[in-house]
Amino acid sequence: MAEYLYNRTHEYLVKRNGEYAIGISEFAVQELGDITYVELPAAGAEFRRGEAFATVESVKAVSEVYAPVDMAIVSVNEELAGQPELVNEDPLGNGYFVVVNALDESQISGLMSLGDYEAMVKSGQ
Amino acid sequence: MDLQAKKLALYEQHVALGARMVDFAGFAMPVWYGNQGIIAEHMAVREGAGIFDLSHMGEIFFRGDRAHEFLQRVLCNDIRKIGNGSCQYTLLPTPEGGVVDDLLIYQTNPTSYFAVVNASNIAKDHTWFVRQNEEGGFGVEIANRSDEYSLIAVQGPKSEQVLSAAGFANVHCDLPFTFRRLKLKDVRVFLCATGYTGERGFELIVKNDGAAWLWEELMAAGSPLGMMPVGLGARDTLRLEAGMCLYGNDLDDTTSVLEADLGWTIGWDKEFIGKELLLRQQEEGLKRLLFGLTVDKKLGAPRHGARVFNPEGEDVGVVTSGGPSPYLGRGIAFCYLRPGLAEEGKELLAEIRGHRVPAMTARPPFVKHRLYNP
C-alpha cells in the first residue's frame, strides 16, 4: 500500500495508479469539525506548490486547502458536492479532494512521513 | 488553547466529556464535544434535549428603593410589563444610538432585580450601570456577582422530561420568561423558563459550589433520554436559526435598537437613556435594518463581514452573522440592509469565498420558535 505523505498545512498526498490523490489529514478534520461544503477546482487546472486549490467550510469556519506540490488536476471527488460529510467520515479514503499529476516529482521528497507529521502536530507548530 | 483563559466550575466535566475547549471572551469554554460535533449537538436540541454550560455569562444584581426607577432609566424595555418572578429581554442603549449590551432582566420584587449579561461585556456593563446610578443619584446597590454563579441550560422539546427525571417537581416551561427559586436537595437554584435556541427549555442559575453536582444530576437524568452536552458552536447555530441577535456581531456600540429590528423592546411610554436618538431615527427613517438572507446549500454559506449586493451590483449591506443551518440545510445569515430591501423574497447577491452568489431575503427567525406545546 502506498504511503501517505503530509504537507505542513495538513494536506496529504498518496500515490494511486500512477497519479496522486490529495485530501486533508485526520487531524485537520478533527480541528475543523463538521464539514458542510467543499469547493473544488476544475479538471485541468494547474497549481503551484503552496497555492490554494480548494476551500473547505465547516460549521464554524472557512479554510483554504493548499497544493502540496506543483500539480495539474486530473479529476475531482464529485461525491463531495452532495456529501461533504465524507471528509469527516473517511478523510484518507472516500473523502479525498482531487486526483492530480505531479508536475515536479522531485518535490514529493520534501513532504513528511506520517510519523514526522504527527510529531509536528504534537509540538503544536 | 490559550492557558490564560479562565477555568470555570464545570471545566473538568467538559474535559472528561472530550470537549474541544476554546478561549471565549477570556473563559475556557467547550465549542463542541468529542465525537459528536456541532451538527449532532444542534439536532439534539431541536429534536430532543441538550445541556449547555453558560457559566461565562455575567450576573449583576440590583437592590434598592429606586431600583425600578433606575432600571427604567437605563434599559429600553418597560419593566412595568413584567412582575415578580418574570424576566424580560432588553437592551442598554447609549445616547449616541449604540447599544452597550443586550440582556435579560429578572424581577425578584420591585426593589430587587438581577441581569444576565454577555460574558464579553460584564465589566463594561457593570461600569455603565455604576456610572448611570451615580450620575442619576439613584442610590441603587449594584453588585457584579458573575464570579459566584454558574449557569446551566437545558434546551429542547424533552427539557421538562429531563428536569423531572433529575428530581425537579412540577416543572414546565409553558410560561416563557418566568422564573422561580427552589431547592434541589440542598442546592438553591434559580429555575428560569428562558433560552437562546427557540425551543422549550430552562436556564438554571446556581452558585459555583453546586454547579458540578447539578450538571452531573442533569446529565445522569438526561443521557437515557438522548440528551447531549452542547458546546458554544451549536449555541451559535441554534440562536442564528432562531433569529436571535449576538452582541459583537449583530449588535454593538454603533447599531441602534431600531436598526437591529428590536423596536418591539422599546418602551416608548417612559423616559430612558438613548430615547431621544431613537425617536429621531424613527422620524427621519433608518439607514439600515437587520434582516435575513438564505443561500442554497450547494453555494455554501455567507459569513460575518460578507458584502451584499443588489442585482445591479450596488453594495447594499453586510452580513453580521452567517453559516450553514443544520436544521434547514442551507446557508442563513443576519445582515444589515438598506431598509427598502428588508422584506421577504428579494433576490440579492452575497459574497461567499470571493464570489457573488444568489441569495434571497428572509425575515428571521429562520426556524419557527416552539416555546409552546402544540
Whether B38 and chain A come into contact, CB under 8 Å, resolves to: yes
In a domain, A21, yes or no: yes
pLDDT at A125: 59
Final residue belonging to a domain, choices B119, B144, B169 = B144
Given a contact cutoff of 8 angstroms between Cβ atoms, the answer to whether B194 and B105 are in contact is no
> Residue B323: which domain range?
287-362
In a domain, B275, yes or no: no
- Do B324 and A37 make contact, defined as CB atoms within 8 angstroms? yes
Burial of B3 (0-12, 13-18, 19+ CB in 10 A): exposed
In a domain, A123, yes or no: no
Indicate whether B194 and B47 sit together in one domain.
Answer: yes
Which residues pair with residue B155 across a beta bridge? B50, B201
Q: Is B150 helix (H, G, I), strand (E, B) or coil?
A: strand
In a domain, A125, yes or no: no
Chain A residues near any Cβ of chain B (below 8 Å) = 33-34, 36-37, 39, 55, 57-60, 62, 81, 88
Residue of B32, B298, B353 lying closest to A33 (CB–CB) = B32
- Minimum distance, in Å, between the CA of residue B319 and any CA atom of chain A: 15
Encoded amino acid at B75, one letter: L
Indicate whether B161 and B235 sit together in one domain.
Answer: yes
Given a contact cutoff of 8 angstroms between Cβ atoms, the answer to whether B343 and B361 are in contact is yes
Given a contact cutoff of 8 angstroms between Cβ atoms, the answer to whether B175 and B202 are in contact is no
Sign, CA torsion B243/B248/B250/B252: positive
pLDDT averaged per 10 residues in sequence order, chain B, 374 residues: 78 97 95 94 98 98 98 98 97 97 98 98 98 98 98 98 95 94 94 97 98 98 98 98 98 98 98 98 97 94 97 97 96 97 97 95 97 75
Indicate whether B219 and B136 sit together in one domain.
Answer: no
Residue A45 has pLDDT above 80, yes or no: yes
Indicate whether B181 and B117 sit together in one domain.
Answer: no
pLDDT at B34: 87
Chain B residues close to A33, C-beta within 8 Å: 20, 31-32, 37-38, 233
The ipTM, to two decimals, is 0.81
Residue of A39, A60, A62 lying closest to B233 (CB–CB) = A60
pLDDT at B318: 98
> Residue A53: which domain range?
5-101
Return the DSSP state at B242. T
- Residues 6 or more apart in contact with residue A41 via CB below 8 angstroms: A47, A53, A54, A73, A76, A98
In a domain, A83, yes or no: yes
d(C-alpha B186, C-alpha B208), whole Å: 14
- Residues 6 or more apart in contact with residue B274 via CB below 8 angstroms: B76, B93, B94, B95, B96, B97, B257
In a domain, B260, yes or no: no
Indicate whether B195 and B167 sit together in one domain.
Answer: yes
Burial of A47 (0-12, 13-18, 19+ CB in 10 A): buried
In a domain, A122, yes or no: no
Where residue B196 sits, what CATH number does that domain have? Answer: 3.30.1360.120
- What's the structural domain count of chain B? 3
Least Cα distance to A77 among A22, A122, A119, A26 occurs for A22
Chain B residues close to A58, C-beta within 8 Å: 38
pLDDT at B1: 41
**B222 half-sphere exposure, CB direction, 13 A CA radius:** 29
- Residues 6 or more apart in contact with residue B131 via CB below 8 angstroms: none
* Cis check: omega of the bond before B229, within 30 degrees of 0: no
pLDDT at B2: 43
Indicate whether B184 and B322 sit together in one domain.
Answer: no
**Lookup result for grid cell 427613517:** B285
In a domain, B26, yes or no: yes
In a domain, B258, yes or no: no
Indicate whether B140 and B156 sit together in one domain.
Answer: no
Indicate whether B53 and B152 sit together in one domain.
Answer: yes
Whether B43 and chain A come into contact, CB under 8 Å, resolves to: no
